Amino acid sequence: MDIKLEAIGHSYDGVRVMRDITLDIPDGRIVCIVGPSGCGKSTLLRFIGGLERPMEGRVVQMGEAPEGCLNPLTYIFQDFALLPWRSVAGNISLVLEDHGIKGAKAKAIIDDVLARTKLSDFAQALPKQLSGGMKQRVAIARALAVNPAVMLMDEPLSALDSQTRELLMDDLVSLWSRQPFTAVYVTHNLNEAVRLGHKIVVLSRRPGQIREVVEIDKPLDQRQFGDADLDEKQKYLWQLMREEARAADAELLNV
Amino acid sequence: MSDATLNTSRAAGTQGPDKQAAAMGETGKPVAFRGGGFAPRSPKWVGVAVFVVLIAIAEWGTRTGWISALTLPRPSDVLATFQELYQSGMLFKHLGPSLARLAVGALIGVSVGVSVGVLIGLFSYVRAGLVPLVAAIFPIPKIALLPLFVIWFGIGEGSKYALIAFGTFTPTVVATYGAVDNVDRTLIRMGQSFGLSWWSIVRKIVLPGAMPGILSGLRISLAIAIILLVAAEMLGAEYGIGAYILQAGSLYDLERLFAGVVILSVLGVVTSTVIGLIERRVLGWRT
Provide the edge-to-edge strand list for the sheet that holds A182-186: A73-76, A150-154, A182-186, A30-34, A199-203, A210-215
- Chain A closest-CA separation from residue B210 CA (Å): 11
Among the three residues A112, A127, A148, which one is the final residue of a domain in this structure?
A: A148
Can you give the pLDDT at residue B117? 95
Does residue A161 lie in a domain region? yes
Query: Could you give phi then psi for residue A107, rounded to 5 degrees?
Result: -60, -40
Does residue A188 lie in a domain region? yes
A94 contacts on B by Cβ (under 8 Å): 191, 194, 196, 204
Largest CA distance in chain A: 55
A156 touches chain B (CB under 8 A): no
Are the CB atoms for B75 and B262 separated by under 8 Å? no
In this complex, do A51 and B190 lie within 8 Å of one another by their Cβ atoms? Answer: no
- Chain B closest-CA separation from residue A155 CA (Å): 14
Tell me the C-alpha distance between A77 and B189, whole Å: 10
Can you give the pLDDT at residue A253? 62
What is chain A's Cα-based Rg?
18
Per-chain mean pLDDT for chain A: 88
| Domain boundaries, position A107 | 82-148
Are the CB atoms for A44 and A6 separated by under 8 Å? no
In this complex, do A81 and B189 lie within 8 Å of one another by their Cβ atoms? Answer: yes
pLDDT band for position B23 (50/70/90)? low
DSSP A121: G
Can you give the pLDDT at residue B6? 47
Q: Delineate the domains of chain B, giving CATH numbers in brackets.
A: 75-286 (1.10.3720.10)
In this complex, do B285 and A73 lie within 8 Å of one another by their Cβ atoms? Answer: no
Do A142 and A154 belong together in one domain? no
Can you give the pLDDT at residue B16? 52
Closest partner residue to B193 among A51, A79, A86, by Cβ?
A: A51
Other C-beta atoms lying within 10 Å of the C-beta of residue A132: 16
Tell me the C-alpha distance between B10 and B18, whole Å: 8
Please count the residue pairs, one from chain A and one from chain B, whose beta carbons lie less than 8 angstroms apart.
55
Phi-psi domain of A242 (left: phi exceeds 0; alpha: psi -120 through 50; beta: other): alpha
Among the three residues A95, A120, A148, which one is the final residue of a domain in this structure?
A: A148
Do A20 and A48 belong together in one domain? yes
Residues 6+ apart with CB under 8 A from A112: none
Can you give the pLDDT at residue B20? 56
Tell me the C-alpha distance between B84 and B90, whole Å: 9
Do A58 and A158 belong together in one domain? yes
Are the CB atoms for B81 and B259 separated by under 8 Å? yes
pLDDT band for position B172 (50/70/90)? very high
Do A114 and A200 belong together in one domain? no
Query: Could you give phi then psi for residue B46, rounded to 5 degrees?
Result: -65, -45
Residues 6+ apart with CB under 8 A from A57: A5, A6, A7, A8, A9, A20, A21, A22
Terminal Cα distance for chain A, rounded: 33
Residues 6+ apart with CB under 8 A from B178: B213, B217
Top-confidence residue, B210 or B286: B210
Tell me the C-alpha distance between A30 and A186, whole Å: 10
Do A158 and A241 belong together in one domain? yes
pLDDT band for position A103 (50/70/90)? confident
Percent of chain B scored above 90 by pLDDT?
Answer: 53
The model's pLDDT over A140-149, given as tens digits with 9 standing for 90+, comes to 999 999 988 8
Count the domains in chain A: 2
Instruction: Name the residue among B187, B217, B224 with its Cα closest to residue B116.
Output: B217
Do A126 and A200 belong together in one domain? no
Closest partner residue to B193 among A49, A86, A128, by Cβ?
A: A49
B189 contacts on A by Cβ (under 8 Å): 51, 77, 81
Question: What integer is the mean pLDDT of A203-220?
Answer: 85
Top-confidence residue, A224 or B195: B195
Chain A 24-63, CB below 8 Å of chain B: which residues? 49, 51
pLDDT band for position B8 (50/70/90)? very low
In this complex, do B193 and A83 lie within 8 Å of one another by their Cβ atoms? Answer: no
- Chain A closest-CA separation from residue B123 CA (Å): 19
A176 touches chain B (CB under 8 A): no
Q: Is the dihedral of CA B221, B223, B224, B228 positive or negative?
A: positive
Cα angle vertex A250, ends A249, A253, to 5°?
Answer: 75
Do A238 and A163 belong together in one domain? yes
Other C-beta atoms lying within 10 Å of the C-beta of residue B242: 26
Do A159 and A170 belong together in one domain? yes
Tell me the C-alpha distance between A137 and A84, whole Å: 15
SS3 A19: strand
A213 touches chain B (CB under 8 A): no
Do A119 and A33 belong together in one domain? no
Are the CB atoms for A83 and A90 separated by under 8 Å? yes
DSSP A255: -
Q: What is the pTM of this model?
A: 0.80
Among the three residues A133, A148, A163, which one is the final residue of a domain in this structure?
A: A148
Can you give the pLDDT at residue B21? 52
Do A130 and A225 belong together in one domain? no
Do A129 and A157 belong together in one domain? no
Asked if the model's pLDDT at residue B25 lies above 70, the reply is no
Do A240 and A172 belong together in one domain? yes
Are the CB atoms for A58 and A44 separated by under 8 Å? no
Percent of chain B scored above 70 by pLDDT?
Answer: 91
The CATH number covering residue A208 comes to 3.40.50.300
The model's pLDDT over B89-98, given as tens digits with 9 standing for 90+, comes to 888 889 999 9
Asked if the model's pLDDT at residue B251 lies above 60, the reply is yes
- Chain A closest-CA separation from residue B284 CA (Å): 8
SS3 A14: coil
Per-chain mean pLDDT for chain B: 87
In this complex, do A84 and B204 lie within 8 Å of one another by their Cβ atoms? Answer: no
Other C-beta atoms lying within 10 Å of the C-beta of residue A31: 23
Instruction: Name the residue among A103, A34, A65, A11 with its Cα closest to residue A181.
Output: A65
Can you give the pLDDT at residue B225? 93
Other C-beta atoms lying within 10 Å of the C-beta of residue A167: 14
- Chain B closest-CA separation from residue A68 CA (Å): 15
Please name the residue of chain A whose CA is at the shortest distance from the CA of residue B285: A85
